[in-house]
Chain A
């Protein structure tokens, strides 16, 4: 009886939600005012993030070569020459990516020896629990990987003069070669649990002039988790809202509204665009001492899914168009500021 009751309740709730949507795709601006403002203050730590204990085979991720001596000294604990994923974090580490993608990751990492292209859409491979691919056997960082990356690159090359490499390029945060890719994309960062070498690597990356684009994390819980992690990377640097008159919004395309881009399952079925309590999408960032953006945080939105499923006729073109525009603007901003 109990399962039947639960199913009935869910059905009623679904009907109610669809009626609210009035047959249109829900946009963030249609949220009731009282639920748009989200308190993003940090909850008491630690946030209990359920993770699966599964050891990731080291051969699936190309480990870094020798760390520079100074970086090794800076990192506390662990051998600098061994990937921290294996020993320190693996017991509660990410799910393994499917073998087909692992080979691509290795390829991307290896080709850093000859960077014949100007731009590599580089994805941060970080230590962390389950993510958007929960249930599909991939770690959080590999959500939408590599199709989102490749599709975004196809459109990026079509819309700009950028000399970009055609394929995805994932690299670990503690890999020194990450410094050769000044643009970094990370998503599902609410599940990120950075190891000391990763913290040191990302901190040096950003301090040296690297740019981080963050996407696809939802609700206050994931916000808090990410805020804690990034505070370990950049202590003392607050996250600030980026107003719509910021140059980020008119680098290539004039963007005068922040949309909430839904995940595939919500986009194609016309369900509410939000996930968890992430009702209001925001674009915020972390600025350096000179007022330049070091990181852009797209919260309560899923640009990656819009890129990944842009070819899907069921996915609303309005969202995929917007996601591409945001992506293009962010890349051009990251390469010029």
Chain B
């Protein structure tokens, strides 16, 4: 298409985009236009005065053709000229950035590997492209992967970088060439930017300095055939024994309809496997994999797919992720306003779970409370906590059937703050004095709930209904809803002979549960909330049984049924049926999971290369979870050899309570970070985090050429995107679009073939029409 344009218009479209149109006629333009107008009028007059046998329409057509030919001729007589700004030869520099990451070893389009093209083009032996560039520019060559450095030519590239930091490379080249007239930066890469930095931030100074970037995309857009583990959603830390449902995203090309197995390993131990049928080409397939982590401490989990026949890349068949398995007891406060069977059965359900401690505060009579599972005699001695410090020591909160009027306004705010500020989980249970029936409409709790409160029933018992519960699609893949035991216990096997059989599928496990009852009519979830369980009432109305949403830093769950214990006691449930226990263990674990400690620390990434630095970011709060800016925060970094280095963290000033430090990493292996925050003599808390140092296979994921990213890079900076097929245009484009020292250059347009063709075409057309109508 571009060659046709060039044949007609003499120059490439780029020159028309970049240039400015002027008229070079020595005569005044008005005179030229005047003469043209006279000729045109005489032509029109001629057609108008000589009637002949032609009709008015025919004369009009002929006059129009004649006028068009005259117009083109007049335009040519004006001597149209294209004024261009072009770089001065040998006065300017260009930076050539060569990708030196491991993905350059993957197959290229015209060469065996992507790296081969770099060697052929920018190697010591040179190439036509390089020669053309060197004719006009002083070329400075860089290699980049995680780091960027100057090289003489492409023979110095090793293609062993484990990251591609495109933003860092652009910054480095721009800074290094800031003292010379720079026409542009040519980046030869596959675009697999995984440096973790925002590319847009690096583009701003380039735009300000008018330095265009010319990306040259290497490799195919899609590697075929190939299958890869695209993404794994795994939290950074979990409670020991937690049953996680990890969403594993598998991408593939060329294996549609095949079944592969996703395997999860903890060290050398296989802890889960899940067969997955691959969907249409290019579409990600998401499969939930249930994983239970029993070994405490930092664990490195490997998610992998066995190598398939003919695969283009095998390194992207596995992903390693670091997760901290916490060995601690999550302390949960369950406040119940009246004696209820739920208290008993929730306590029994989680009794076997060593990582949950449910402290029960139960109002047995007005002003009289029963405390269970408290640590000492002072805990909750005066009833429900009256200060945030006292309440926020728990990591999750369960509110049973207790009317809103029981709480003071401040206590209600504290409950809402427990989620929004403290970041804990709050679970609201159903009951005759819960939700709207408990007077929570119009309170801060209504704002915090994930469901909408309806008009309360005058008598809650009149709203009594039974609900056949079923999970939603979101619920089926949520950790709370995984009520099928991962491995049948020996105890359950022994009891099979006497009890109802355990369902084999999750759908059946839910469908075979007896209905529950509710007195709280909850039919709508708030926008943004996720409904996990629904129920169908006796009247056929759909009700919400379990819904949650994020509220500030924490999460709030509504479970507006009053007798989940039926799933343990009902005669259709075997006495050792684990579904009730699993539901409550997972519900309370999920509720408490993610509730932050007052002091916690996170590295900016979990995988780092030796020689690079990692940024630690600590959040420091006091016991009321208010940000502390004047703390003394110190990190102790223990490397794999056991040596400990102490690094202070400093307040970022931009954000309250946020402290940062950049830690250089030198040793391969797992590093542990413990952050201690003090305010004077008072220790505010400690936080622990882990990161792994070593080479990663990140380069092999999504290793196809990322054309969209590279095109945006060119568009935002005024450059142009090339592939290996059209990269030969680069030198000329650089000449007219680049910055640096430039001069003005004029190109005549009057002799463009298109003018000749137009004039001949229009006159020929007029003649042809005359012939057609029999006038000649």
Contact = CB atoms under 8 A, between A and B. Distances in A.
A146 interface: no
A252 B368 CA distance: 8
A112 to B, nearest CB: 11
Contact of B340 (A118, A208, A251): A118
Interface in B323-355: 337-341, 343-345, 347-348, 351
A161 B363 contact: yes
B360 interface: yes
B565 interface: yes
B483 interface: no
A161 B339 CA distance: 7
B196 interface: no
B344 A337 contact: yes
Interface in B513-544: 517, 519
Given A160-B339, A332-B339, A336-B339, A207 B575 contact: yes
A196 interface: no
A71 B571 contact: yes
A161 B571 contact: no
Contact of A336 (B347, B432, B566): B347
Interface string A116-142: 101100000000000000000000000
B570 A179 contact: yes
A32 interface: no
Interface string A293-337: 000000000000000000000000000000000000001101111
A252 B365 contact: yes
Given A161-B365, A252-B370, A116 B461 contact: yes
Nearest to B574: A70
Nearest to B460: A116
A337 B569 contact: no
Nearest to B346: A336
Interface in A76-116: 114-116
B498 interface: yes
A208 B573 contact: yes
B572 A68 contact: yes
A204 B575 CA distance: 6
Contacts of B348: 209, 292
B50 to A, nearest CB: 105
Nearest to A71: B571
A252 B571 CA distance: 31
Contacts of A254: none
A209 B344 contact: yes
A118 B339 contact: yes
Given A74-B498, A209-B348, A336-B360, A119 B568 contact: no
B14 interface: no
B339 A331 contact: yes
A277 interface: no
Interface in A29-71: 68-71
B571 A336 contact: no
Nearest to B465: A114
A162 B569 contact: no
B372 A336 contact: yes
Nearest to B519: A116
Contacts of B499: 70
Contacts of A334: 344
A122 B499 CA distance: 25
A209 B339 contact: no
A180 B370 CA distance: 24
B370 A161 contact: no
Interface residues of B, number: 42
B569 A210 contact: yes
Interface in B351-390: 351, 360, 362-366, 368, 370, 372
B347 A337 contact: yes
- Max chain B CB contacts within 10 Å: which of A180, A207, A209? A209
A210 B345 CA distance: 10
A180 B572 CA distance: 11
B464 interface: yes
Given A68-B500, A115-B517, A208 B575 contact: yes
Contacts of B370: 251-252, 332, 336
Contacts of B461: 116
A207 B575 CA distance: 6
Nearest to A119: B339
Given A115-B517, A161-B364, A335-B343, A208 B568 contact: yes
A159 B339 CA distance: 12
B192 to A, nearest CB: 55
Interface in A188-224: 204, 207-210
A118 B576 CA distance: 24
Given A161-B339, A207-B575, A252-B368, A180 B569 contact: yes
Interface string B243-264: 0000000000000000000000
A186 B190 CA distance: 79
A119 B574 CA distance: 23
B344 A163 contact: no
Nearest to B517: A115
Contacts of B575: 204, 207-208
B517 A335 contact: no
Nearest to A292: B348
Contacts of A331: 339
Contacts of A252: 364-365, 368, 370
Interface string B427-464: 00000100000000000000000000000000001001
Given A70-B498, A335-B344, A161 B570 contact: no
Interface in A276-299: 290, 292
A157 B351 CA distance: 29
A177 interface: yes
A336 B346 CA distance: 9
Contacts of B343: 335-336
Given A70-B500, A207-B575, A180 B570 contact: yes
A70 B498 CA distance: 6
Contacts of A161: 337-339, 363-366
Contacts of A332: 339, 364, 370
B339 A182 contact: no
A331 B566 CA distance: 18
A86 to B, nearest CB: 21
B170 to A, nearest CB: 64
Contacts of B565: 182, 209
Given A70-B499, A161-B363, A208-B575, A335 B569 contact: no
Contacts of A69: 500
Contacts of B573: 208
Contacts of A68: 500, 571-572
A204 B571 contact: yes
A21 B570 CA distance: 50
A1 to B, nearest CB: 61
A209 B568 contact: yes
Contacts of B517: 115-116
Nearest to B348: A209
A3 B569 CA distance: 57
A178 B573 CA distance: 13
Contacts of B562: 118
Nearest to B495: A207
A209 B364 contact: no
23 contacts: A70-B500, A73-B498, A74-B498, A116-B464, A118-B340, A160-B339, A160-B364, A161-B338, A162-B339, A163-B338, A176-B571, A179-B569, A180-B566, A182-B565, A208-B575, A210-B569, A290-B351, A331-B339, A332-B339, A335-B344, A336-B344, A336-B360, A336-B372
Closest 5 CB pairs of A and B: A176-B571, A161-B338, A207-B575, A179-B571, A208-B575
Given A116-B461, A161-B363, A179-B569, 16 more contacts: A69-B500, A114-B464, A115-B517, A116-B464, A118-B432, A162-B338, A163-B432, A176-B572, A208-B568, A209-B565, A251-B364, A290-B351, A332-B339, A335-B340, A336-B343, A337-B347
Interface of A: 68-71, 73-74, 114-116, 118-119, 159-163, 176-180, 182, 204, 207-210, 251-252, 290, 292, 331-332, 334-337
